[in-house]
């Protein structure tokens, strides 16, 4: 008597072939990563604008370098940091945003400056 032969399901065959391909591709990728001798940090393009503020500390930078970079930043942005900046009490800060919105446009900078000066003449230091 003849033994019955099992017919292989096409789904099982496809799954076996796909699994083999994925496994081989992972081995190839792992080999590429391990053998890649370039150990350069990735390039990160961080958006930069007048109100951008970032604090990043990556690697083993010593505090001396951080101070140098901070001093260069202050030198490059002196006017924005010290001449065009005002400190307001909480109430006047809320009023200013109530008038010009949560994220006011830079086009309103002169109007905001004028508003602050008016408040200072009315109330003294605000």
Q: What are the pLDDT digits (tens) for 4-24?
A: 677 778 898 899 999 999 988
pLDDT digits (tens, 9 = 90+) for 63-112: 677 778 888 888 898 888 888 888 889 999 999 999 999 998 889 989 99
At 96 the pLDDT is 92
Per-residue model confidence (pLDDT) at position 42 = 62
Q: For residue 95, what is the enclosing H or E element? A: helix 90-100
Alpha carbons 66 and 64: distance in angstroms, whole number: 5
Domain spans of the chain? 10-40, 63-123
pTM more than 0.85: no
Q: Give dist(CA 71, CA 69) in Å, integer.
A: 5
Indicate the SS3 state at residue 26: helix
């Amino acid at each position: 008597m003849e033994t019955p032969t099992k017919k292989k399901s096409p789904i099982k065959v496809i799954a076996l072939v796909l699994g083999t391909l994925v496994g081989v591709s992972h081995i190839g990728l792992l080999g590429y990563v391990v053998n890649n001798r370039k150990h350069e940090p990735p390039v990160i393009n961080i958006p930069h604008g007048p109100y951008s503020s970032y604090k990043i500390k990556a690697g083993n930078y010593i505090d001396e370098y951080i101070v140098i970079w901070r001093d260069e930043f202050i030198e490059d942005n002196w006017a924005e940091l010290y001449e065009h900046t005002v400190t307001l009490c909480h109430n006047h800060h809320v009023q200013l945003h109530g008038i010009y919105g949560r994220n006011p446009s830079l086009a309103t900078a002169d109007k905001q400056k004028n508003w602050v000066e008016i408040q200072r003449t009315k109330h003294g230091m605000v």
